[in-house]
Amino acid sequence: MYFKHPEILWALLFLIIPVVVHLFRLRKFEYTPFTNVIFLKEIQQENHKSSQLKKWLVLASRLSLITALVLAFAQPYNRQNTTALKKAETVVYLDNTFSMQAGGVQGALLVQAVHDLIDQPPEGEISLFTDNTSFSKTPIQEIKQELLQLEYSSVPLSPENIILRGKNMLSTDTTTQKNFVLISDFRAWPPHSIPDKDSIINYYPVVLRAQHSENIVLDSVFLSDADSQSLELSVLLSKSDSTALTLPVSLYNGDTLIAKTTAAFDKKDSSRSSFRIPNNRLVDGKVVIEDRGLSYDNSLYFSINPPEKIRTLIIGDASNRYLRKIFTEDEFEVRVSTASQLDYSLIPAQDFIVLNELEDIPVSLAQALHNASTKGNIILVIPSEKTPTPQFNALFRSLNTGAVTPLYTDDENKRRKKITDIQFAHPVFRAVFEHSLSKTDNFRYPEAQPIFNIDGSVKTVLGFEDNSPFLAERDRVFFFTAPLNSDYSDFSNTPLIVPVLYNIGRMALPHPALYYQTGIQATLSNRKPSQRQGEDIISLHQDQRFLIPQQRSFPEKIEWYTSDEVPGNDGHYQLKYGDSLLQHISFNHMRKESKTLSTLFPQESETATLSWQNTVLKIKNDGSIRELWKWFVIFALVFLLTEILLLKYFK
């Protein structure tokens, strides 16, 4: 038993008073002579015994009365646990990812959780955070409107970040009771993500469950075929189970329905549908389905823009036939010039510059290429065996690439080596291979005889079997260590040359994708309109929204970057440079939340039955005490009544 006011227990010293009164006879007796009272002696002895017993009973009742009153004023209590009487501070994590769109008993899981929070908030000091917002030490009623208008987050926090963020929002005061409530469906949470209860923080997971776990997802849209008249648009769908199902799929241009088809799930968990549409008819496209699962993944936005040609300049006297076959006129605007007849004023306007086995690299050309490199242009160097090493070094120093070391011409170094090292993670090979290749007999690796080594920090794109680079890159400058003519290499005769050179060229001005994802960091590039000059910037427009992304300007083009916040919403956007429309661009939320994943708490788990109401009650009980002062008041009244009865009726 504990006391709220233990200092009042000093009043128990007053128990001495009734003891003194009862043990010492303070009244003086006088003897008065009387006649013979011998016949009263026996009665006198009996009355004396009864009087003594009555006095001791009255003394006990008075002592008990005083003791009960003193203990009542000291307010005794029993503690439920070690956190009782501590000031409570509570942090609430509210999951607002797209998986919380799933329907529960009272509507969407997020809506249900918000109403529970507003109707029955926890006691004490409260902080609340979601996947994209936070409210520190704010009463729930003050953020009622923000909670009712809470939107879904396309970028979910990881379980580790959620736990760490919740701990950081709790104070370091050791005298407070710390509660961490997690409200979520706990999809994709691995086991043991929530720490066990410790002496500092009490964890209370509130598990929300959807009534239906089935969900159909619009995974992706891509162009599977194209000709001069039409395009074939393919749509990939997936579902959470393998039951047979036929689902309508609609294609819109803006808000106008232009085509419909069906997706058949023949006891499979995926399906593919196709649309054939005329060229240049579809700009702001949207594919739509309907299901009773999550709603955010039932629409997929995309944009088809007319392709913009990449300005390409090939400098050199060597044969460029294979280059012209790769850099075709439908995607590249190619100019060819020899070193002696080069118009240097053309270089700043180019997106992609190729040095095709130049035998002589003048200082003026090296300086012009340096200026082009600093403006973000892609430069590809195909060396010549006749180029003097000092000129190579002057060029590479100006491009901040490294230093060149010539290889000796002895028989050991003149032999060709196989090109077996393919860096699949490099952007050059993005979407080229379905999976990483391993050394195998059914793939013929090209061979080449390198003429120099590069000393410096470079990224190998293609490497020889001895790990030396054949094609390397640094700061958007690509270079081969061997000529591509037949005397030194058979690389130009292998299929690998096409995706390598084509993708290097495409990196100079990436072709706009059908759509991009929100919530990720990406770098996009657009050429500036020729008629615009000055300080104009790129901006994204969607209805009444106006966004300015982070960007980097070059004389002929501008790079801009997406992030977690930009653009934020999915849908169609107009990309403008000043007042000029550059292109239509679309963004979609990541489909990560759409995948049906096992929850952290199984359906039969005891923890899974912990509702919000039970959690609030448990937090209250864990911090509560059992007060006993009322009982001692009752005892005092009982002892007082006992004393009255003793004095009145006990003879």
- pLDDT tens, residue by residue, 510-535: 767 899 999 888 888 888 887 665 66
What is the number of domains present in the chain? 5
What is the reported pLDDT for 625?
Answer: 60
Give me the domain span that covers residue 528: 517-588
The per-residue pLDDT for 38 is: 56
| Last-in-domain residue among 480, 508, 536 | 508
Same domain flag for 565 and 602:
no
pLDDT of residue 646: 79
In this structure, what are the phi and psi dihedrals at residue 248, rounded to the nearest 5 degrees? Answer: -70, 140
CATH of the domain at 300: 2.60.40.10
Angle, alpha carbons 220-224-229 (nearest 5°): 125
Q: Which of 474, 508, 542 is the last residue of a domain?
A: 508
Name which of 514, 594, 599 is nearest 269 in CA terms: 594
Based on the fold, state whether residues 346 and 479 are members of the same structural domain. Answer: yes
154 with 265, same domain: the answer is: no
Q: Determine the pLDDT at residue 516.
A: 93
324 plus 371 within the same structural domain:
yes
pLDDT given for residue 2 in this prediction: 66
| Same structural domain, 9 and 52 | yes
Indicate if 236 and 380 belong to the same structural domain.
Answer: no
Spans of the chain, pLDDT less than 50:
438-440, 603-609
Q: Please indicate, yes or no, whether residues 339 and 400 belong to a single structural domain of this protein.
A: yes
Looking at residue 609, its pLDDT comes to 47
Alpha carbons 457 and 437: distance in angstroms, whole number: 26
Residues 497 and 474 in one domain: yes
Residues 334 and 199 grouped into a single domain: no
Return left, alpha or beta for 2; rule: phi > 0 is left, psi -120 to 50 is alpha, else beta.
Answer: beta
353: burial class by Cβ within 10 Å (0-12, 13-18, 19+)?
A: buried
| Same domain (yes/no): 259, 322 | no
Contact (CB, 8 A) for 90 and 179: yes
pTM value surpassing 0.85: no
Among candidate residues 269, 304, 339, the one where a domain is terminated: 304
240 contacts 594 by C-beta, under 8 angstroms:
no
pLDDT in tens, 414-443: 688 999 999 888 888 876 776 555 444 556
Residues 359 and 434 in one domain: yes
The CATH number assigned to the domain holding 489 equals: 3.40.50.880
Q: Are 52 and 108 contained in the same domain?
A: no
